[in-house]
Amino acid sequence: MQNQDIHQVIAILRDSAKSWTPALVDDNSTTWSPYQILLATILSLRTKDTLTAQVVPRLFALASTPGDMIGHPPEKIEEMIYPVGFYRNKARSILAISHTLIEQYGGRVPDELDELLKLPGVGRKTANLVITAGYGKPGICVDIHVHRISNRWGYVATKTPEQTEFALREKLPLEYWLEYNGLLVSMGQNLCTPTSPWCSKCPVIQFCERVDVSRSR
Protein backbone atom coordinates (compact mmCIF):
# COMPACT_ATOMS: atom_id res chain seq x y z
CA MET A 1 0.00 0.00 0.00
CA GLN A 2 1.31 3.42 -0.94
CA ASN A 3 1.35 6.17 1.68
CA GLN A 4 -1.21 8.27 -0.15
CA ASP A 5 -3.63 5.34 -0.45
CA ILE A 6 -4.56 5.49 3.24
CA HIS A 7 -6.92 8.43 2.64
CA GLN A 8 -8.99 6.45 0.17
CA VAL A 9 -8.80 3.29 2.26
CA ILE A 10 -10.14 5.02 5.38
CA ALA A 11 -12.97 6.61 3.38
CA ILE A 12 -13.99 3.21 2.01
CA LEU A 13 -13.79 1.52 5.41
CA ARG A 14 -15.93 4.21 7.03
CA ASP A 15 -18.70 3.38 4.59
CA SER A 16 -18.23 -0.41 4.72
CA ALA A 17 -18.14 -0.47 8.52
CA LYS A 18 -21.78 0.62 8.64
CA SER A 19 -22.73 -2.99 7.79
CA TRP A 20 -20.22 -4.64 10.13
CA THR A 21 -20.63 -5.50 13.79
CA PRO A 22 -18.67 -2.76 15.56
CA ALA A 23 -15.87 -3.32 18.04
CA LEU A 24 -17.17 -3.59 21.61
CA VAL A 25 -15.86 -0.28 22.95
CA ASP A 26 -16.78 1.63 19.80
CA ASP A 27 -20.32 0.35 20.11
CA ASN A 28 -20.66 1.70 23.64
CA SER A 29 -18.12 4.49 24.01
CA THR A 30 -20.73 7.24 23.91
CA THR A 31 -22.26 5.99 27.17
CA TRP A 32 -19.27 4.46 28.97
CA SER A 33 -17.05 6.48 31.30
CA PRO A 34 -13.23 6.29 30.95
CA TYR A 35 -13.21 3.97 33.98
CA GLN A 36 -15.71 1.63 32.33
CA ILE A 37 -13.76 1.69 29.07
CA LEU A 38 -10.62 0.85 31.03
CA LEU A 39 -12.24 -2.15 32.70
CA ALA A 40 -13.96 -3.36 29.53
CA THR A 41 -10.64 -3.30 27.70
CA ILE A 42 -8.93 -5.27 30.46
CA LEU A 43 -11.73 -7.85 30.39
CA SER A 44 -11.48 -8.16 26.60
CA LEU A 45 -7.82 -9.18 26.66
CA ARG A 46 -7.58 -12.75 25.32
CA THR A 47 -11.37 -12.93 25.32
CA LYS A 48 -13.77 -12.65 22.40
CA ASP A 49 -15.87 -9.50 22.19
CA THR A 50 -19.05 -11.57 22.16
CA LEU A 51 -18.23 -13.00 25.59
CA THR A 52 -16.94 -9.71 26.97
CA ALA A 53 -20.20 -8.06 25.91
CA GLN A 54 -22.11 -10.51 28.11
CA VAL A 55 -19.86 -10.06 31.13
CA VAL A 56 -19.37 -6.29 31.17
CA PRO A 57 -23.01 -5.39 32.02
CA ARG A 58 -22.89 -7.75 35.02
CA LEU A 59 -19.77 -6.10 36.37
CA PHE A 60 -21.05 -2.57 35.81
CA ALA A 61 -24.34 -3.44 37.50
CA LEU A 62 -22.28 -4.43 40.54
CA ALA A 63 -20.00 -1.37 40.44
CA SER A 64 -19.24 1.29 37.84
CA THR A 65 -16.88 3.56 39.81
CA PRO A 66 -13.61 2.88 41.66
CA GLY A 67 -15.24 3.74 44.98
CA ASP A 68 -18.02 1.23 44.47
CA MET A 69 -15.65 -1.44 43.15
CA ILE A 70 -13.34 -1.53 46.18
CA GLY A 71 -16.31 -2.34 48.39
CA HIS A 72 -16.43 -5.85 46.96
CA PRO A 73 -14.10 -8.79 47.62
CA PRO A 74 -12.16 -10.29 44.70
CA GLU A 75 -14.34 -13.41 44.83
CA LYS A 76 -17.43 -11.36 44.04
CA ILE A 77 -15.75 -9.68 41.07
CA GLU A 78 -14.53 -13.07 39.86
CA GLU A 79 -18.13 -14.29 39.97
CA MET A 80 -19.31 -11.31 37.91
CA ILE A 81 -16.68 -11.61 35.18
CA TYR A 82 -16.51 -15.40 34.84
CA PRO A 83 -15.84 -16.99 32.30
CA VAL A 84 -13.56 -14.39 30.66
CA GLY A 85 -9.99 -15.53 30.19
CA PHE A 86 -7.79 -15.25 33.28
CA TYR A 87 -10.77 -13.99 35.26
CA ARG A 88 -9.07 -14.40 38.65
CA ASN A 89 -6.06 -12.33 37.60
CA LYS A 90 -8.33 -9.75 36.01
CA ALA A 91 -10.42 -9.47 39.18
CA ARG A 92 -7.28 -8.71 41.16
CA SER A 93 -6.17 -6.16 38.53
CA ILE A 94 -9.56 -4.44 38.64
CA LEU A 95 -9.34 -4.06 42.41
CA ALA A 96 -5.71 -2.93 42.31
CA ILE A 97 -6.49 -0.35 39.63
CA SER A 98 -9.51 0.91 41.55
CA HIS A 99 -7.48 1.35 44.74
CA THR A 100 -4.71 3.14 42.83
CA LEU A 101 -7.16 5.51 41.16
CA ILE A 102 -8.64 6.48 44.51
CA GLU A 103 -5.34 6.78 46.37
CA GLN A 104 -3.29 8.54 43.69
CA TYR A 105 -5.71 10.16 41.23
CA GLY A 106 -8.70 11.19 43.31
CA GLY A 107 -10.84 8.45 41.74
CA ARG A 108 -10.34 9.82 38.21
CA VAL A 109 -8.82 7.83 35.36
CA PRO A 110 -5.83 9.82 34.04
CA ASP A 111 -5.92 11.04 30.46
CA GLU A 112 -2.17 10.89 29.80
CA LEU A 113 -0.47 7.80 28.38
CA ASP A 114 2.46 7.80 30.81
CA GLU A 115 0.13 8.01 33.82
CA LEU A 116 -2.16 5.25 32.54
CA LEU A 117 0.83 2.97 32.05
CA LYS A 118 1.57 3.28 35.77
CA LEU A 119 -1.71 1.55 36.65
CA PRO A 120 -1.43 -2.16 37.59
CA GLY A 121 -1.76 -4.42 34.56
CA VAL A 122 -2.33 -1.62 32.04
CA GLY A 123 -0.35 -1.89 28.79
CA ARG A 124 -0.07 0.37 25.78
CA LYS A 125 -3.10 -1.06 23.97
CA THR A 126 -5.39 -0.46 26.95
CA ALA A 127 -3.92 2.95 27.72
CA ASN A 128 -4.29 4.16 24.14
CA LEU A 129 -7.89 2.97 23.95
CA VAL A 130 -8.79 4.86 27.12
CA ILE A 131 -7.21 7.99 25.67
CA THR A 132 -9.02 7.73 22.33
CA ALA A 133 -12.40 6.26 23.27
CA GLY A 134 -12.58 7.67 26.78
CA TYR A 135 -11.20 11.16 26.27
CA GLY A 136 -11.26 11.72 22.52
CA LYS A 137 -7.55 12.52 22.51
CA PRO A 138 -5.14 11.35 19.78
CA GLY A 139 -3.69 7.93 20.35
CA ILE A 140 -3.08 4.75 18.39
CA CYS A 141 -4.46 1.59 19.96
CA VAL A 142 -2.91 -1.49 18.38
CA ASP A 143 -4.40 -4.89 19.09
CA ILE A 144 -3.87 -8.07 17.10
CA HIS A 145 -6.34 -7.00 14.38
CA VAL A 146 -4.69 -3.61 13.82
CA HIS A 147 -1.24 -5.25 13.85
CA ARG A 148 -2.26 -7.99 11.41
CA ILE A 149 -4.16 -5.85 8.91
CA SER A 150 -1.66 -2.97 8.84
CA ASN A 151 1.06 -5.48 7.97
CA ARG A 152 -1.16 -7.46 5.60
CA TRP A 153 -1.84 -4.28 3.64
CA GLY A 154 1.89 -3.59 3.47
CA TYR A 155 1.29 -0.23 5.14
CA VAL A 156 3.86 -1.14 7.83
CA ALA A 157 6.37 -3.95 8.17
CA THR A 158 6.66 -4.84 11.86
CA LYS A 159 6.92 -7.89 14.09
CA THR A 160 4.96 -6.88 17.20
CA PRO A 161 1.92 -4.74 18.06
CA GLU A 162 4.16 -2.28 19.93
CA GLN A 163 6.37 -1.87 16.87
CA THR A 164 3.23 -1.34 14.81
CA GLU A 165 2.04 1.41 17.15
CA PHE A 166 5.28 3.36 16.82
CA ALA A 167 5.40 2.82 13.04
CA LEU A 168 1.83 4.13 12.73
CA ARG A 169 2.66 7.12 14.91
CA GLU A 170 5.28 8.04 12.31
CA LYS A 171 3.17 7.29 9.25
CA LEU A 172 -0.59 7.46 9.88
CA PRO A 173 -2.05 10.98 9.45
CA LEU A 174 -3.16 12.39 12.80
CA GLU A 175 -6.71 12.91 11.51
CA TYR A 176 -7.23 9.09 11.47
CA TRP A 177 -5.76 8.20 14.86
CA LEU A 178 -9.06 8.19 16.73
CA GLU A 179 -10.92 5.91 14.34
CA TYR A 180 -8.17 3.63 13.03
CA ASN A 181 -8.50 1.02 15.77
CA GLY A 182 -12.28 0.77 15.56
CA LEU A 183 -12.30 0.43 11.78
CA LEU A 184 -9.60 -2.24 11.67
CA VAL A 185 -10.92 -4.24 14.64
CA SER A 186 -14.35 -4.35 13.02
CA MET A 187 -12.79 -5.30 9.69
CA GLY A 188 -10.68 -7.98 11.35
CA GLN A 189 -13.61 -9.53 13.19
CA ASN A 190 -15.97 -9.48 10.22
CA LEU A 191 -13.81 -9.84 7.11
CA CYS A 192 -10.01 -9.80 7.38
CA THR A 193 -9.72 -12.83 9.64
CA PRO A 194 -6.38 -14.31 10.80
CA THR A 195 -6.65 -17.34 8.53
CA SER A 196 -8.46 -17.53 5.21
CA PRO A 197 -9.65 -13.89 5.09
CA TRP A 198 -12.59 -12.90 2.89
CA CYS A 199 -10.48 -11.26 0.19
CA SER A 200 -13.28 -11.77 -2.35
CA LYS A 201 -15.50 -9.46 -0.28
CA CYS A 202 -12.86 -6.93 0.74
CA PRO A 203 -13.71 -3.36 -0.26
CA VAL A 204 -10.05 -2.31 -0.22
CA ILE A 205 -8.51 -5.36 -1.92
CA GLN A 206 -7.01 -3.18 -4.67
CA PHE A 207 -4.81 -1.47 -2.11
CA CYS A 208 -3.78 -4.60 -0.19
CA GLU A 209 -0.46 -6.35 -0.83
CA ARG A 210 -1.82 -9.48 0.92
CA VAL A 211 1.43 -9.97 2.84
CA ASP A 212 1.68 -13.54 4.23
CA VAL A 213 -1.79 -14.46 2.95
CA SER A 214 -1.49 -18.01 1.67
CA ARG A 215 -5.18 -18.90 1.66
CA SER A 216 -8.29 -16.78 1.27
CA ARG A 217 -11.94 -16.98 0.45
Domains of the chain, first to last: 5-20+140-207 (1.10.1670.10), 24-135 (1.10.340.30)
Query: What are the two backbone dihedrals, phi and then psi, of residue 161, each rounded to the nearest 5 degrees?
Result: -55, -40
Query: How far apart are the two ends of the chain, measured CA to CA in Å?
Result: 21
User: Looking at residue 23, what is its pLDDT?
Assistant: 80
User: H-type helices in the chain, by residue range?
Assistant: 5-16, 24-28, 34-44, 49-62, 66-69, 74-81, 87-105, 113-116, 124-129, 135, 144-153, 161-171, 177-190
Please state, rounded to an integer, the average pLDDT across all residues of the chain.
94
Distance CA 69, CA 36 (A): 11
Which of the four pLDDT bands, split at 50, 70 and 90, describes residue 100?
very high
pLDDT at 177: 96
Cβ-based neighbour number of residue 70 at 10 Å:
18
Tell me if the pTM is above 0.75: yes
* Cβ neighbours for 59, distance < 8 A, ≥ 6 positions apart: 39, 43, 77, 80, 81, 94
pLDDT for the residue numbered 50:
87
Q: What is the pLDDT of residue 22?
A: 85
Is residue 46 within 8 Å of 86, Cβ to Cβ?
A: yes
* pLDDT attached to residue 43: 94
Question: Per mean pLDDT, which range of 14-18, 22-26, 31-35, 152-156 is the poorest?
Answer: 22-26
State whether the Cα torsion 174-177-179-180 is positive or negative. positive
